[in-house]
Structure 1
Amino acid sequence: MKLTLLRNATLKLVYGGRVFLIDPDFGSMGSRRSFTGRAQNPMVPLPQPIEAILDGVETVIVSHLHADHFDDEAKQAVPKQLPLICQPGQAETIVSAGFTDVTPLDRDLTLGPILLTRHPAQHGTGAVAETMGPVMGLSFQAPGEPTLYWCGDSVVYPPLLDAVAVTRPDVIVTHSGGALWDETLIIMDAEQTIALARACPEAVLIATHLEALDHCMTSRKDLRAAAEAGGIDAHRLRIPADGETVEITAR
């Protein structure tokens, strides 16, 4: 597998002979409102032109409809005929934007040799999670590939830990920016990311969703320092820069 972090949660994944684009947010730097007054969002530019990002993409995955996961620019730029996978209840909205091949993923989906499985995720806790709305995690399995578990916009909570324990992934992609909403954590921060690494000692973690939105309070430097203090080395926790590709082979 080859995973390229483009910006925030936008990923390009080469897996099982297929090229996926995950949570496309193509907005220009500073084009959306601030959440905290620190800066307009996104706070950083895309590391590649949109045309280069879309080159070779065969399947699009949209975890949920927040703008930093599927924005207006992406809705315009992504070819409407590309197969697009979303969570139940959001297909109609995506179809209304002109997309013609939309599949809500309720549980499992087979794409050639690849098995995709939807898993629970929770975008915060309590009333804030209700405000954020439904999100999803996803696992990828294919012969000759490492099993990949993508947590999505989720905090660490018991159903996620249970799903990871059942899946036993080789690679876990986390959203680790410590975003806050009404002073409530809505994705993992450094402490939760390290806790997940300890709970899955055989997995390599790849941390994303960092340093692109003004309500994300955990930096790459913060996360690396917490990992070092917690005995999690740089091989076990990868923290790619925007535009960087991580390649991992099956064990």
Structure 2
Amino acid sequence: MKSTSIIRLLRHATLILEMNGKKLLIDPMLSEKDAMDPIKNCGNDIRIPMVELPIPKSEINTMISEVDAIVITHLHRDHWDVPAKDFTPKNKLIFCSPNDVESLRKQGFENVQSIENTFSWQGIEIHRTSGQHGTGDIGKSMGAVSGFVFKHQKDSIYLAGDTIWCEEVEKVLTNHRPKATILNAGGAKFLTGDPITMTSSDIVKVHEKLPDTKIIAVHMDTINHCFVTREILSKELKSKGLESKIRIPEDGESIEV
């Protein structure tokens, strides 16, 4: 039977998920290239985003009007920036974790739906998941983050969010056995401490835990502290014979699930 779900990478962690005839815009970062100051304390001063969106600025309003809801995993500026706040109508439905409800309402958004555990919407089950946005003191300073599992009939898509490989991710894979898994790669890190998003070895661990899930690696080539590029990840996966198992979409590319 033909798939009913489509994932389109726009840039970094910004995606459009189509499921059960509904469109969800995930983690919108809509700034133009070089519009934001770089992430500090990572050894370079490259302004971000490092690339443009694959759609012109003139089409952003249309895109947002066409989506049925917005999903925000957390409020770091590479997942929810000033243009995203400005372009999004104040009455647009926003799904988020309980941690972010108050901030979003203070920003003027009137239709904010917190997901504590599970929420049913338009025939889609949305399960909130947790993770670890790094280790040690840096992980604590990055704050709590969320991911989500979206389910409709036989389709299930796990959006892990900003997390490294950890017990929480392993638990989601075991309990939900998603058909597709979207991983925020890039191996983002600072001058000190361990990576705060997935490295190639983390992605391999996800594959080893659940070989049947279609892994889609995003969150690369856009932010100045993400040092694992598409090229690096591709080479490392190829060296392990996994290049056909893990998709690394280009900006603007769509993948059927």
Give the TM-score, by structure 1 length. Answer: 0.95
Measure the CA separation in 1 of the matches of 2:49 and 2:63.
17
Q: CA-to-partner distance for each residue in 1:88-124, whole Å, 9 max, x for gaps?
A: 1211110111111001110000012110001111110
After the TM superposition, which residues 14-93 of structure 1 pair with which residues of structure 2 at under 5 Å, given as runs? 14-35=18-39, 36=42, 37-49=44-56, 50-93=60-103
Show the counterpart of 1:13: 17
Shift of residue 162 of structure 1? 1.3
Distance 1:158 1:229 in 2: 26
Q: Deviations over 1:33-92 (max 9, x none)?
A: 112324101111111132343241001011111001001110010111111011112111
Which stretches of structure 1, 4 residues or longer, exceed 4 Å deviation after superposition? none
Separation in 1, partners of 2:250, 2:23: 20
Counterpart Cα distance in 2 of 1:126 and 1:53: 39
How far, CA to CA, are the matches of 1:221 and 1:194 in structure 2? Answer: 16
2:169 matches 1:156: no
Report the alpha carbon displacement of residue 146 of structure 1 after superposing the two structures with TM: 2.2
8 Å Cα contact 2:185/2:220 also seen in 1: yes
Deviations 1:177-230 (A, max 9, x none): 110033420000111111211211111100010100010001111111111112
TM-score (norm 2): 0.92
**Residue from 164, 167, 172 that aligns with 2:176:** 167
Size of the alignment, in residue pairs?
246
Residue 10 of structure 1 aligns with an amino acid whose one-letter code is T
Give the alignment's Cα RMSD to 1 decimal. Answer: 1.2
Counterparts of residues 1-251 of structure 1 (less than 5 Å)? 1-35=5-39, 36=42, 37-49=44-56, 50-143=60-153, 145-181=154-190, 182-234=192-244, 236-248=245-257
Report the residue type matching 2:184 in the other structure: H
Is the Cα contact below 8 Å between 2:138 and 2:193 reproduced in 1?
no
Structure 1 position 231, deviation (Å): 2.1
Letter in 2 for 1:46: L
What is the identity percentage for the equivalent residue pairs of Structure 1 and Structure 2? 30
Q: Contact (CA 8 Å) 1:194, 1:226: kept in 2 or not?
A: no
Determine if contact 1:156/1:196 at 8 Å carries over to the other structure: yes
Structure 2 residue matching 1:225: 3-state secondary structure: helix
| Consecutive unaligned residues in structure 2, runs of 5 or more | none
